[in-house]
Structure 1
Amino acid sequence: MRIDLHTHSNRSDGTTSPADVVAEAAEAGLDVVALTDHDTTRGWDDAADAARRVGIDVVRGIEISCRHRGISIHLLAYLPAPEGELFDEMERARESRVTRAERMVERLGRDVPITYEQVLAQAGPDATIGRPHIADALVANGVVPDRSTAFEHLLSNSGPYHVGHYAIDPVRAVTLVRAAGGVPVMAHPFADVRGRVVGDAVIEEMIDAGLLGLEAHHRDHTPEQVRHARDLARTHDLLVTGSSDYHGDGKPNRLGENTTEPDQYERLVALATSDVGVVRGR
């Protein structure tokens, strides 16, 4: 089995629809794919329908935006019940992202050609508007050649146009995912190429709250960081996952470039306690 547990559609910051993510996963030879859009479940139904059409299993998930003392943390939540306090927090984060995007575009518009209407034109239906859509509008307007260049300066966290947004504390997020019957796995925990990362002490606090896994195999991890994640997982009997973090054309990540071992996947599914099951397409 080939299993990729981290992908994004145009319901958040990917460039393809949920159905197309699933179809592309099948074409890439995957047996299982998880749709994990940022702070939203709006792609779940379309992904489930596509799974049955193309013959691939789909795990319904979310990537939750968290923050600890100014450091961004991403928490993957697999198979949580789509209701309750966790989803209230996600909606708060989603609304904060939208207002943040509006304010960033207002700041950018003083110096470069961009409007919020142009940003909206880059987003899919029901998408959570964010910096990737601003980047796409900057590319379309010829301000920068690609998303990566936009994020290097204009949209960076330390750049002149930066605006913060609401993000839940990671320990509380883990608690809420477990309360929703989901399986919390920390995404790319040591990927300092993305910015500052938390130390093991914070991860151990998350483990004490119910964290169940670490995404060790990710393109933004060095071999040393992969080993560290695997060692930490072994010490605390955590799941070890591997994923592409696919965003369509928005990033160079390719479906199936990193995968999760079948025994880890089976354990993950068994740990979920909600009524949200894997969509069986095979």
Structure 2
Amino acid sequence: MMDLHCHTFASDGQYTATEIVAMAKSIGLTALSITDHDTIDALDEGAQAAKQANIQFIPGIEINALGKNVHVLGYNVDYKSDTALQICENNKQLRQKRAELIFAFLKQRAIHLTWKDIDKYALHKIYARPHFARAMLEHKYVGSIKEAFDKYLDTPEFRQIKEPRPTVEEAIVMIKQMQGIPVLAHPMQQGKAYAELDTFIIPLKKLGLAGIECYHSENTPQDTELSLALAQKHSLLITGGSDFHGEKVKPDIKLGSGINNNLDFHDDKLLALLCQPHH
């Protein structure tokens, strides 16, 4: 079994890379990719821990692009290159600007948080909504992480914020510059109909999009079916992952098995392709 989508403490997850590898080992995963948002900070630690645990490790990243849940996963990125470091530094600065906009949005709604409140959860300063949600919960503005999202951080009003982010095309190019393999994450979460996604993918494939994440914890069986149809139609790789963040961030999602064991993904051919050494 493999899990090609999870997040550590370096972005908005709850656990360190070492802890996630230990979890992967305990549930019998044979391959793992850490795909933190906009950062490669956990990959070195993850690679070392995976080597000791005898788990095949694919260094990854997830770049958040403009648009609702438009994320691009990058697999087998050359995370030690200056290019990768520079791209992540630029994206980190964009996240800082975005965080300032989120503070202002919450302040207008009588939620007064400080950088100190957020930094407690975002040690690597890759600011993301779960950090705000956890701080809101701690300061009793909400009763759960879900409430923070439902009432504030995942609303039509919140989506009006003009977020400083790369376009999906730029995200694909960034991953290619990092020598990585670009894969469109959880396409059904974009809220687009099949025909719209079908059209959306055509120019992205020309730019170098190589795959679609068809298996994902939050997919319905129909979502998976439609994702597979898209991948097959456009001759794209089929990948899968839980999107595990930890129970304090995404309570329903378990590493390797998703929600209520709805994830059971393994593909040796894909693994061989994702693990090819860089030339």
Q: CA RMSD in A?
A: 2.3
Shift of the 44–228 alpha-carbon distance from structure 1 to 2, 3 Å rule, reads same
Superposed, which structure 2 residues align to 1:68-87 within 5 Å?
Answer: 70-82=67-79, 83=81, 87=85
Shift of the 103–39 alpha-carbon distance from structure 1 to 2, 3 Å rule, reads same
1:269 aligns with 2:274: yes
Q: For structure 1, which segment, 228-237 or 136-145, has the greater mean C-alpha deviation from structure 2 after superposition?
A: 228-237
Q: For structure 1, which segment, 201-210 or 253-262, has the greater mean C-alpha deviation from structure 2 after superposition?
A: 253-262
In structure 1, how many angstroms separate the alpha carbons of the residues matched to 2:78 and 2:192? 31
Shift of the 201–161 alpha-carbon distance from structure 1 to 2, 3 Å rule, reads closer
Match for residue 186 of structure 2? 188
What's the CA shift string for 1:54-96, capped at 9, x where partnerless? 33222110001112xx444100001122346565443222212
Match for residue 256 of structure 1? 256
In structure 1, how many angstroms separate the alpha carbons of the residues matched to 2:212 and 2:243? 14
Higher-RCO chain (CA-CA 8 Å, sequence separation at least 6): 1
Write the letter of the residue equivalent to 1:31. Answer: T
Report if the CA contact (8 A) 1:13-1:132 is conserved: yes
Report if the CA contact (8 A) 2:65-2:167 is conserved: yes
**TM-score computed with the length of structure 1 as normaliser:** 0.86
In structure 2, how many angstroms separate the alpha carbons of the residues matched to 1:47 and 1:274? 19
Write the letter of the residue equivalent to 2:42. Answer: G
1:103 aligns with 2:107: no
**TM-score computed with the length of structure 2 as normaliser:** 0.86
Match for residue 225 of structure 1? 223
In structure 1, the gaps of 5 or more residues are 276-282
Shift of the 88–202 alpha-carbon distance from structure 1 to 2, 3 Å rule, reads farther
Match for residue 150 of structure 1? 148
Structure 2 residue corresponding to 1:201, chosen from 199, 202, 205? 199
Report if the CA contact (8 A) 2:98-2:164 is conserved: no
How far 1:121 moved relative to its partner? 1.3
What's the CA shift string for 1:139-165, capped at 9, x where partnerless? 111111221210112222523696443
Aligned residue for 1:150, secondary structure, equals helix
Match for residue 4 of structure 1? 3
Match for residue 63 of structure 1? 62
In structure 2, how many angstroms separate the alpha carbons of the residues matched to 1:12 and 1:52? 22
Q: Report % sequence identity.
A: 30
How far 1:107 moved relative to its partner? 4.1
In structure 2, how many angstroms separate the alpha carbons of the residues matched to 1:221 and 1:28? 22
In structure 2, how many angstroms separate the alpha carbons of the residues matched to 1:107 and 1:224? 35
In structure 2, how many angstroms separate the alpha carbons of the residues matched to 1:27 and 1:262? 20
What's the CA shift string for 1:238-257, capped at 9, x where partnerless? 11111100001210211111
Report if the CA contact (8 A) 1:153-1:159 is conserved: no
Runs of 4+ in structure 1 over 6 Å off: none
How far 1:231 moved relative to its partner? 1.5
